[in-house]
Structure 1
Amino acid sequence: MTTLRRQAEEYLAMRRALGFKLTTWGQRLMSFIGYLESTGAGHITIEAALTWATSTPASTDPVYWARRLDVVRIFARHLKTLDAATEIPPLDALPHRYRRITPYLYSPAEIVSLMGAAGALKPQLRGQTWQTVLGLLAVTGMRVSEACRLDRQDVDLDKGVLAVRDSKFGKSRDVPVHPSTTAALRRYDRLRDRLWPAPACPAFFISTRGTRLDASNMPADFAKLLHPAGIAPIPGRRRQRIHDLRHTFTVATLLQWYEDGADVQARLPLLATYLGHVDPKSSYWYFSGSPELLALAADRLERAFTPDTHGGGT
């Protein structure tokens, strides 16, 4: 094992111990280390980092290249304290370093269509598993990985509470659900036990093999439901994603709060906690993803600063 590989593995182990998953990030770092080893390099250089970041068949998008370079930059900053010869790629080495994917907001009718397409899958267990998972994601905004990691003991059907354990950044939380959701989960629970009374794992949602659902396969499988659900692609934009259900739930919740006249600013920390965000700042981004939200926020701001012609106040 080379010194660079050992240092990279120790660095990944340290960050994972702090609660970071580093699934894709770790793969990219080790890919870069493999590139350095193939060239015989003993140190990180800016030239090597740029060559590796831009020499990938996966994408020609500068944003994608910049994200690959970010992995090297973060590790190089750490390594610089151990190896003075390490070069740290500058922040402006590649343009357009960050860009959020524009979310797709599903309409209620589209969610019903998606669940209908899922329920038609064969065999029955697969169809009911997919239908229940999609419904749960739509009404809770949970991450796909969180739904897949639910064990039976995490789903309290009597209290209507889901225990999400060790999620992003090592955070855990309780997610209360509506009685209608509890009823749907109970129906699935009974069906699963009838069709597969002795599964191979304690997962609440299982595959037709009796194993836990693989979160990494869910996006590709979800994409196959879009056409049967009648959801057409939008020209010039990437295909709709299963993760967009999380965006849809969040925006719908914010819209409802605005329409109800609630103090949205005061409730944002509650929404952030429910979604499992590290802090409310992660929830603020959703305002830019919906024209309806921007319009409501602008209207409230305008009314807040419009003089009260009846009372003479501001």
Structure 2
Amino acid sequence: MNALRQALADYLAVRRILGYRLARAEKLLAQFLTFVEERGEEHLTTETALAWATLPAGADRSWMSRRLSDVRRFAIHLHGIDPATQVPPTDILPGRTRRATPYLYSAKEISALMAAAATLRGPHRRATYRTLIGLLAVTGMRVGEAIGLDRDDFDVADGLLTIRSGKFGKSRELPLHPSTVTALGDYLLRGDRPRQPPKMPALFLSPAGTRLLYCNVQNTFQLLVRHCGIAPRSAACRPRLHDVRHAFAVNTILDAYRDDGDPAARLAVLSTYLGHINPSHTYWYLSAAPELLKLASDQLERHLGGDA
């Protein structure tokens, strides 16, 4: 292993201790170092970083900005070890990323997606996606958290799911509705459940008896979306699997308004349930729902009217 490869391994190890996963960054930076090695260079330069970040020709600018940003963070780390390292300035390929507008699924659409799982090949695969989509809809957990669940993370007696590999390494417990406990229990007891290797404790299994892969789950979900005829609402608002989490968050706060409860108190609970470090991180999930904004406005008007 040459000095740059060792430095990359050290960089990734340090950042992972801080809670970052860096799966995509590791892949991109390894590709970048291959590019550097092919050019016969021993130090990182801004010129080489820019040449690599702008590949392939005609790539989206936000993609190029992301690639250069990953290199920049690594270069900052490396500069402390090797002063010859050049750190690409921040004004080169500045990001122009725009957050997608969440697609807020209706209860009818969630039911349709679960029913559409019946079109998939194989009885256990059909049951897996029906159960997975339902679980995401009623817990708002991240997709990666769901497919990372092990059987031992499901406590049938107490009706709890334990998320052990959440974002930034945070763990949390999710109380489940009895109907969800029953659905998960039935899924685990299916007679057609694939035989698992001894060291494969995954709750959700592929037909091969392995843990589900994120990319395969995403592709299958989009297949179900198309089957149900769920179309984008705009160029920026397309039905994504992650948006099931957004819908859960919005519906939770909607229920608080409709029940004449305390939305602020519900927000604090929701933030914890979603695994956010700070309630402020939850606001993005709520900002794109017109119905929710109207209820908040109505409550404000009633409050101001009471003070008049």
Q: TM-score when scaled to structure 1?
A: 0.89
1:135-284 maps to which residues of 2 (within 5 A)? 135-191=134-190, 194-196=191-193, 198-200=195-197, 201-234=200-233, 236-237=235-236, 239-284=238-283
- Which amino acid is the alignment partner of residue 128 of structure 1? A
Distance in 1 separating the partners of 2:152 and 2:261? 35
Distance in 1 separating the partners of 2:289 and 2:40? 49
Distance in 2 separating the partners of 1:277 and 1:298? 25
Determine if contact 1:63/1:99 at 8 Å carries over to the other structure. Answer: no
- Which amino acid is the alignment partner of residue 52 of structure 1? W
- Report how far residue 225 of structure 1 moved: 0.8
Distance in 1 separating the partners of 2:296 and 2:125? 42
RMSD: 2.1
Distance in 2 separating the partners of 1:258 and 1:219? 33
Residue 65 of structure 2 is matched in structure 1 by: 66
Residue 287 of structure 2 is matched in structure 1 by: 288
- Report how far residue 154 of structure 1 moved: 0.8
- Report how far residue 88 of structure 1 moved: 1.9
Distance in 2 separating the partners of 1:133 and 1:79? 42
**Cα separation, partners in 2 of 1:36 and 1:295, compared to 1, 3 Å:** farther
- Report how far residue 7 of structure 1 moved: 0.5
Residue 312 of structure 1 is matched in structure 2 by: none
Q: Which moved more, 1:14-23 or 1:156-165?
A: 14-23
- Report how far residue 258 of structure 1 moved: 2.5
Residue 124 of structure 1 is matched in structure 2 by: 123
**Cα separation, partners in 2 of 1:237 and 1:97, compared to 1, 3 Å:** closer
Residue 44 of structure 1 is matched in structure 2 by: 44
Q: TM-score when scaled to structure 2?
A: 0.91
Determine if contact 2:72/2:88 at 8 Å carries over to the other structure. Answer: yes
Distance in 2 separating the partners of 1:255 and 1:209? 40
Extract structure 1 runs of 4+ deviating beyond 6 A: none
SS of equivalent residue, structure 2 residue 209: coil
- Report how far residue 299 of structure 1 moved: 4.0
- Which amino acid is the alignment partner of residue 257 of structure 1? A
SS of equivalent residue, structure 1 residue 163: strand
Residue 103 of structure 1 is matched in structure 2 by: 102
SS of equivalent residue, structure 2 residue 227: coil
- Report how far residue 245 of structure 1 moved: 0.8
Residue 53 of structure 1 is matched in structure 2 by: 53
SS of equivalent residue, structure 2 residue 173: strand
Determine if contact 1:67/1:97 at 8 Å carries over to the other structure. Answer: no
Residue 21 of structure 2 is matched in structure 1 by: 21
Distance in 2 separating the partners of 1:174 and 1:97? 37
Number of residue pairs aligned between Structure 1 and Structure 2: 306
Unaligned runs of 5+ in 1: 310-314
Distance in 1 separating the partners of 2:223 and 2:68? 32
Residue 87 of structure 2 is matched in structure 1 by: 88
**Cα separation, partners in 2 of 1:290 and 1:64, compared to 1, 3 Å:** farther
**Cα separation, partners in 2 of 1:92 and 1:107, compared to 1, 3 Å:** same
- Report how far residue 165 of structure 1 moved: 0.8
**Cα separation, partners in 2 of 1:41 and 1:131, compared to 1, 3 Å:** same
**Cα separation, partners in 2 of 1:29 and 1:238, compared to 1, 3 Å:** farther
- Which amino acid is the alignment partner of residue 125 of structure 2? R
**Cα separation, partners in 2 of 1:20 and 1:306, compared to 1, 3 Å:** same
- Which amino acid is the alignment partner of residue 248 of structure 2? F
SS of equivalent residue, structure 2 residue 255: helix
Q: Any idea what the Cα deviations from partners look like across 1:59-91, whole Å, max 9, x if unmatched? A: 732222212121112112211211222222222
Residue 6 of structure 2 is matched in structure 1 by: 6
- Report how far residue 279 of structure 1 moved: 2.0
